[in-house]
Chains A and B, each alone.
Chain A
Amino acid sequence: MTTVTKSRLADLGELMLPGAGIGAAAGLFAGIITMIAGLGWGLALVNVIALAVPMALFGGGYTILCARGVVPVGVFAPAALYWLIAYPVSRLVQEGSASVYLTGGPGLSTDVVSFALYNALLAPGLAFGFIWLHERVAPLWLLRIRDHNPLAAGLAEAYLAYASRAYQQKVREDARKKARRAKRAHA
């Protein structure tokens, strides 16, 4: 029973990797910016961890929602709605953590409503970047793990259905080329 639970958790973790990786990258980006801006290693590390962790969890959550069929693969609007909530929450965690590190207590640069609203308005841009990368990374990963991860199989199928159109086109192209070569060989 425990083994089953463990294995299911491992499958879930493995499935979350693409979205979680992209989310974590956003946190890493915040850390790099902090470093370049000369605000010190300490704050950079806080910004990396405090933004990467929630962003990774939300990013992985998005991949799971795709796998469950709640969110259709590659469609922008659901991703934008998802990050409309997820991004301000992640930024609240980051900004709050940075304030604890700098002043010893939680705080924000502005009032919480303005802060959340501002980040929510920027979220669609982030959502586009996220889904753009997700569409490029997730299918490759899912195809690698679908044989031993039943959770990934369904989502891999959804991506494959879309990719099959492109593949059929390539097959037609190859057939045309083959025919032309044969024609030349006869000539």
Chain B
Amino acid sequence: MPIRKLPEAPPSVHILGPTVFLLALGVGMGESFMWPRLVVVFGPEIRWLFLIGVTLQAVVMLEMSRYAMATGESIFTGAARVFKPLMWFFFLTAIGVYIWPGHMSAGAGAFEELTGVPWQVTGTIALVAVAVVFTLARVIYDLLEKVLGVLIGCLVIGTAVIASMVGSLDALGDTILGMFHFGYFPDEIQTAAWFPVVVGSIAFAGPSGMQQMWYTLHLRESGAAMGAHIPKLTGLAHTKDVDIAAMPERGFMFDTEDPAEMEKWKGWRKWVTFDAFALFWGVTMLVTISFTVMAMAAAEESAAVRERLLAGDRDAALPAMADAFSSAGWAGLGSVFLGFISLIGLNATLGLFDSFSRGQADMVFNNVKGAKKIGMARLYGAFLWGVVIFGIIIVNWGPADGPTAVLDILAFLSTFAMGAYCVTLLLVNNRILPKKIRPGIVPNVVIGLGALFYLGMLFYSMIKFGVTDMG
């Protein structure tokens, strides 16, 4: 790679790093619906699995950022440098996982509970709206980003306010202590109905599926470290303004033998470490604790909800959770919960589809002959509309039994992508990067255990129970 200067690291540990993207996506269905659902069914002790999942995600985030910040390349390009078919494997995995519009389906399902509008109708309209928004990106994307930013802020404040009004110190204590019940695994989990859901929920502890890989694209876009040398992507409606050859063939490397450059590198690592642990880990934990406290207050009041969920009626999950919230002494709280889920579904879909299209376009642009003539923006548009059309087909004519089932399938498949990216991270960071900036033994061991954890749970689930029940 050509050598370029590493930019100065930000002067302080600041809240507005690219982690904002991960938070916007990561604090979503897992924290607000999937884990509270598990807590209602199996009790707060099940949250030890959440602790493992979210801590693992923080380490993954640090290691994903290592390659992207050192080179300005996405992890996909890194994978292609190790072994090109590995990159194409992720290209296919992304398609296989993200044609299931789980977040949008769950959001639309919640909206149906609220208004009676069929989830297929809302889901279809919202999917098309997402594609239109990103097609006109330059005109409204900045505004949209600001609106989403405000919505996330309101969501976090609102969650804290509601939890403080309906929860109790005891419920909070149980929630926190539940994270340390390592090894708690009730018999009811060992069923075809629930084990895959638990596996999917672990994947949804923080950013799920390929979100961490796409985070490397956002790091590049935000100009973090060597990403500052890479131009930005524009929307399909504005391709005329873009020189299609502007995207360089490869990333850049800084001089790791220069002490001044290494000092700057340490600054960038400090910055991203703060992002990973104080912001990402901390905030994800705080939001999910608030939601869990609410769910526990609800579960105490409504034992019938647990029975309905345990009976395996997956379609009943959203209304059952809403009923549980309502029965916690606040008649309309169920509606508030459903409103939150609708918003989170839309917000997550906006982020996911944009990221999916960026990732796929990045792989094709850099690795397919003639793709540069088409241009990054057109490729982005093609993948965006492709995933939307597939999503509409799945929502209206797919095999899934209701909106919650689509989310569960997406979550389960996400685990596969996550196990695979742990293996890829180990290969890319330890083989491509210069020795001086390679990960140490501890992160390598953690990422290795992550691969075993995700893939082990997934294959155990498939061998023991099969996945036919997911839909």
**Complex: chain A residue closest to B157, CB-CB:** A129
Asked if A180 and B162 make an inter-chain contact with CB atoms under 8 angstroms apart, the answer reads no
- List residues of chain B with CB within 8 A of the CB of A122: 160, 163-164, 167, 172, 286, 289-290
**With the chains together, A118 CA to B297 CA distance in Å?**
14
A51-101 residues with Cβ-Cβ distance < 8 A to B are 51, 72, 74-77, 87, 91
Partner of A133, one of B153, B232, B333: B153
- Contact of B10 (CB < 8 Å), options: A72, A131, A165: A165
Q: Are B228 and A125 closer than 8 Å at their CB atoms?
A: no
- CB pair B159–A125 under 8 Å, yes or no, is yes
List, in ascending order, chain A residues with CB within 8 A of B382's CB. none
- Which residues in B have their C-beta under 8 angstroms from that of A132? 15, 149, 152-153, 156
Q: Does A162 contact B (CB under 8 A)?
A: yes
Contacts of A180 in B (CB 8 A): 243, 246
Q: Which of A9-17, A32-40, A148-156 contacts B (4 or more CB under 8 A)?
A: A32-40
How far is the CB of B123 from the nearest CB of chain A, in Å? 24
B336 at interface by CB-CB < 8 Å: yes
Q: Please name the residue on chain A nearest to B14 by beta carbon.
A: A74
Name the one of A117, A118, A136 contacting B153, with C-beta atoms under 8 angstroms: A136
> B154 to A129, Cβ gap below 8 A?
yes
Assuming A124-B282, A136-B146, A180-B246, is B153 touching A74 (CB within 8 A)? no
Q: Does any Cβ of A come within 8 Å of B463's Cβ?
A: no
A141 lies within 8 A of chain B by Cβ: no
Closest to A80 in B: B282
Assess whether A144 is interfacial by the CB under 8 Å rule: no
| A184–B243 touching, CB < 8 Å | yes
Interface size on A, residues (CB 8 A): 52
Q: Does B168 contact A (CB under 8 A)?
A: yes
Q: Which residues of A contact B160 (CB under 8 A)?
A: 87, 122-123, 125-126, 129
Contact check, A126 vs B161: say whether CB atoms are below 8 A apart.
yes
Find chain B residues with CB under 8 A from A129 CB: 153-160
- Chain B residues closer than 8 Å to A135, beta-carbon distance: 15-16
Q: Which residues of A contact B331 (CB under 8 A)?
A: 37-38
The answer to whether A138 has its CB under 8 Å from any CB of chain B is no
Q: A75-B13, A130-B157 are in contact. Are A37 and B243 (CB under 8 A)?
A: no
A87 to B269 CA separation, bound complex (whole angstroms) = 33
Interface contact B164-A169, CB-CB below 8 Å = no
Among A39, A77, A119, A131, the one with the most B-chain Cβ atoms within 10 Å of its Cβ is A119
Whether A114 contacts B161 by the Cβ 8 Å rule is no
Q: Mark B35-70, 1 if CB is under 8 A from A, else 0.
A: 000000000000000000000000000000000000
B231 on interface, CB distance cutoff 8 Å: yes
* Contact call A128/B336, Cβ cutoff below 8 A: no
Q: Is A3 in contact with chain B by the CB < 8 A criterion?
A: no
Given A29-B157, A118-B164, A176-B231, A74-B246 contact (CB < 8 Å): no
Indicate whether A173 sits within 8 Å of B282 (C-beta atoms), given known contacts A36-B336, A75-B12: no
| A176 / chain B contacts, CB cutoff of 8 Å | 231, 246
Provided the pairs A36-B336, A118-B168, A180-B243 are in contact, do residues A125 and B231 lie with their beta carbons within 8 angstroms?
no
Contacts of A169 in B (CB 8 A): 223, 228
| A119: B residues at CB distance < 8 A | 164
Q: Which chain A positions have C-beta within 8 A of B231?
A: 173, 176
- Residues of A near B14 (CB, < 8 A) are 74-75, 162
Within the complex, the shortest CB–CB distance from B113 to chain A, in Å, comes to 15
Q: Is the CB of A125 within 8 A of B158?
A: no
Asked if A25 is an interface residue, CB under 8 A from chain B, the answer is yes
Tell me the smallest distance from the CB of B72 to a CB of chain A, in Å: 13
Interface: A30 (CB within 8 A): yes
Complex CA gap A124/B154 in Å reads 14
Tell me whether B278 is interfacial, beta carbon within 8 Å. yes
Nearest chain A CB to B28's CB is how many angstroms away?
Answer: 15
**Would A117 and B282 count as touching, CB distance under 8 A?**
no
- Return the CB mask of B122-164 against A: 1 if under 8 Å, else 0: 0000000000000000000000001001101111111111111
Bound-complex Cα distance A132 to B158 (A): 13
A19-51 interface mask toward B, CB cutoff 8 Å, 1 = contact, 0 = none?
A: 000100110011001011111000000000001
Give Cα distance in the complex from A36 to B335, angstroms: 8
Report the Cα distance A72→B156, complex, angstroms: 22
B330 in the interface (beta carbon within 8 A): yes
- Pick the most buried of A118, A119, A161: most chain B CB atoms within 10 A of its CB: A118
Q: Which residue of B lies closest to A131 (CB)?
A: B15
Task: Assess whether B467 is interfacial by the CB under 8 Å rule.
Answer: no
In the assembled complex, B260 has its CB within 8 A of some CB on chain A: no
Which residues on the B side are within 8 Å of A184 (C-beta)? 243
CA separation between A176 and B242, bound complex, in Å?
11
Please indicate the chain B residues that have their CB under 8 angstroms from the CB of A103 in the complex.
none
Interface contact A114-B169, CB-CB below 8 Å: yes
Chain A residues in 8 Å Cβ range of B156: 125-126, 128-129, 132
Contacts of B149 in A (CB 8 A): 132, 136
Cβ of B165 under 8 Å from chain A: yes
Question: Given the complex of chains A and B, what is the CA–CA distance between A36 and B331 in angstroms?
Answer: 8
* C-alpha spacing A77/B283, complex, angstroms: 12
| Chain B residues with CB under 8 A of A76 | 13, 15, 278-279, 282
Interface check A121, CB cutoff 8 A:
yes
Q: For the complex, what is the distance from the CA of A181 to the CA of B246, rounded to whole Å? A: 11
B153 cross-chain contacts in A, Cβ below 8 A: 22, 129-130, 132-133, 136
Q: Can you list 12 A-B pairs with a CB-CB distance of less than 8 A?
A: A30-B161, A33-B162, A37-B332, A37-B333, A74-B16, A75-B15, A87-B164, A114-B169, A122-B290, A128-B279, A128-B283, A132-B153
**Closest A-B pairs by Cβ, 3 of them:** A129-B156, A129-B157, A125-B286
> Given A122-B164, A125-B286, A129-B153, 7 other A-B contacts at CB below 8 A?
A33-B333, A75-B12, A110-B168, A118-B168, A122-B290, A129-B160, A184-B243
